[in-house]
Structure 1
Amino acid sequence: MITVKNAESHLKDKIGEDTDDVKKVWETFKDFCKEPVEGEEDKEILFQCGVYDFTGKELFHLDFVRQFTVYEEDEYSRMEHLHCEFLFKPTDEISKLEIGEWSMDYEDIDDFFNHIENLQEFKIPLNLRPIKTEIYQEEV
């Protein structure tokens, strides 16, 4: 079974080397989100995008996130985010896009995924080539 500790390596193995193919990574990410993770009570998935200067330079960030709430001995310990993040040079078309949508607002994970796939914030950057892709897990 997947654990929070090995979730990042598991997802990286599933995606393989072709991390610049946003469509492929999205499909793999969706499958990964349906896999159970030890200790996970609820699926907490975030889709977000926008222009930010987190890197010191303004770039468009397209980010698929799976959030894990970690408990130790039945006590809340922390949250961790596993990101599939794509960075793009901001263009007029994508610079206007900004959104953050959580799966918890939907009855079913597939309803959430269908909603995301119909958003312009998803559709427009989907066919662009990122300048950088990062898959990483962090404590938040």
Structure 2
Amino acid sequence: MPERPRPEDALDALRTELAAAAVRPRTAGATLRDAWPAFARFGRRRFATASTPDSDGLLFQYGTYAFSGRPMFTVDLTRQFGIGSDEDEHDHYVQVHCEFRYEPAPDLDALESFGSWYFHDADENLDEWFAAMANRLGPLLLDRTPCETDLYEETL
């Protein structure tokens, strides 16, 4: 079995998947229809994490938030890794985010907010989770051009 990449390499792995789909964060033109398959490929790729249900998770969420100072409807595709200490205890989380931000609009506000987690090694069906989240995107979000996109990593 090939060696799994480290969580520290996740941001570059997602960047590579997005680039292969011609999605370049902070540039105009890319939609979720372009990015979703790239995120799914990234989400299926396993990383070198502990075999515990909370050490490798995917988060799909959307809603209107004011994280950058002004309200924006945001679709956030996230991968979260639980990182342990040298003593094998939980130390912190690392999250890799791919965000699509849209100007607020009545049709987006009508979606309200939503969030769903999937954790590898938790005996859930990943293909079913991806299909359910893709259904949440629907044509309203899949083909809408965002006014901002961002790709970043944070430690929690």
Task: Give the alignment's TM-score, normalised by structure 2.
Answer: 0.81
Determine the structure 2 residue equivalent to 1:9: 12
CA RMSD of aligned residues (A): 1.7
Q: CA deviation at 1:84?
A: 0.8
1:31 partnered with 2:31:
no
Residues 46-85 of structure 1: pairs in structure 2 closer than 5 A: 46-73=59-86, 74-85=88-99
Q: Distance in 2 between matches of 1:22 and 1:134?
A: 12
Q: CA deviation at 1:29?
A: 0.7
Q: Distance in 1 between matches of 2:124 and 2:144?
A: 31
Q: Deviations over 1:57-115 (max 9, x none)?
A: 11100011111101132121111111110000111101122101112488211111111
Gaps of 5+ in 2: 25-29
Determine the structure 1 residue equivalent to 2:117: 102
Q: Which amino acid aligns with 1:12?
A: R
Q: Distance in 2 between matches of 1:50 and 1:59?
A: 8
The number of equivalent residue pairs is 138
Q: Which amino acid aligns with 1:91?
A: A
SS of the residue aligned with 1:37?
coil
- Cα pair 2:17 2:41 within 8 Å, conserved: no
Q: Distance in 2 between matches of 1:63 and 1:99?
A: 10
SS of the residue aligned with 1:49?
strand
How high is the sequence identity, in percent, across the aligned residues?
A: 26
Please, which of 75, 94, 105 is the counterpart of residue 91 of structure 1?
A: 105
Q: Distance in 1 between matches of 2:134 and 2:23?
A: 21
Gaps of 5+ in 1: none
Residues 117-136 of structure 1: pairs in structure 2 closer than 5 A: 117-119=134-136, 122-123=137-138, 124-136=140-152
Q: Which amino acid aligns with 2:91?
A: S
Q: Distance in 2 between matches of 1:95 and 1:108?
A: 30
Q: Deviations over 1:22-43 (max 9, x none)?
A: 1121101111111111124344
- Cα pair 2:65 2:74 within 8 Å, conserved: yes
Task: Give the alignment's TM-score, normalised by structure 1.
Answer: 0.90
Larger radius of gyration: 2
